[in-house]
Amino acid sequence: MTPPPTARVLVTLDEDLARAAADRQGALWKLAESGRALDANVVRLPPGAAVGEHTDHVLDVLLVVLDGDGGLGTPAGTEPLAPRAVVWLPRTSRRSLTAGERGLVYLTAHPRRPGLTVAPAPPDAAPVRAPAAEGGEPPCALNHVCAACGRLCGERDARFCARCGEALPG
């Protein structure tokens, strides 16, 4: 039987951030402990970089600004972000992030997403019919899939994953 996890310090962010190369961007640290029910990331956006407008329909996210400056875009306008700002991003809310002149370093935390599963269709579900063949192959969206967390990015011009902050492939 596997013993339960114990509470412990995982990282000292001041030291980790100081060791990270100044030009390193995307996820600088990720919570990777086995058996966790939580996901957390420390993300660095370079000056002027952005996480495009998006909505997470499943999870609330807590975001804490650690360093730099920037803006939180919402339908109501842009709110300034500065160190020690704590932001609640409720599920279904439209939002974007933009790094300011000093870049933006932030921590996100949210419940861990359940893994993808295949389940039988409910008995009252309509049958799925294949679309009529129109020729050609569907477009490949692999360059819009985050290699770190698997999220499919819906924004064509996004450079960073809206979930974990990792740089997206070309």
For the beta carbon of residue 137, count every other beta carbon within 10 angstroms: 5
Contact 163, 56 (CB under 8 A): yes
CATH for the 13-113 domain, from 1.20.1730.10, 2.60.120.260, 1.10.240.10, 2.60.120.10 = 2.60.120.10
Q: How many residues does the chain have?
A: 170
pLDDT band at 74 (very low <50, low <70, confident <90, very high): very high
- Given this model, what pLDDT does residue 168 score? 76
The per-residue pLDDT for range 130-157, each reduced to its tens digit, is: 555 555 555 556 666 777 776 777 776 7
Contact 158, 145 (CB under 8 A): no
Pairing of the two strands 50-55 and 94-111 = antiparallel
